[in-house]
Amino acid sequence: MNRMITLEDLVVYYNEVLKEPVSGYSPELDSMSGSLGWSKGGDGAIIWATPNWEHTTITPFDIQYPDTGDYEGYCEVDFSDRSEAEQYKIYFTMLVLAIEYIERN
């Protein structure tokens, strides 16, 4: 089994490689839950996408709408048997797709 990327890996990747928001969305760490969210700030939607949530190979991508309180599961991605490079590529591809979904709705 390949090494699974972690929340800390994503933060370092964002700060050292991307260095700018993804389609206007920046990462936010929720210190209470240990979750990683992406938002434009303010009261807009938050995409919660914490790698290896609950110590599994699954990364859920969930969307929270703070203004209405609605919360929906967008998708889940299984990163088992993927290289680290593939995990980053898939993670950020799914993040962009979730952002596009929010922008359309």
- Domain ranges in the chain? 7-104
pLDDT at 40: 94
pLDDT at 2: 83
**C-alpha angle 41/44/47, rounded to 5°?**
85
pLDDT at 55: 75
- C-alpha torsion sign, points 88, 35, 71, 45: negative
Residue 90 token pair: 């898939």
Of residues 11 and 93, which shows the higher confidence score?
A: 93
What digits encode the pLDDT tens for the residues 8-56? 899 899 999 999 999 999 999 998 988 999 999 887 999 999 998 887 8
Residue 90 pLDDT > 90: yes
Residue 79 pLDDT > 80: yes
CA 105, CA 99: separation in Å to the nearest integer?
Answer: 10
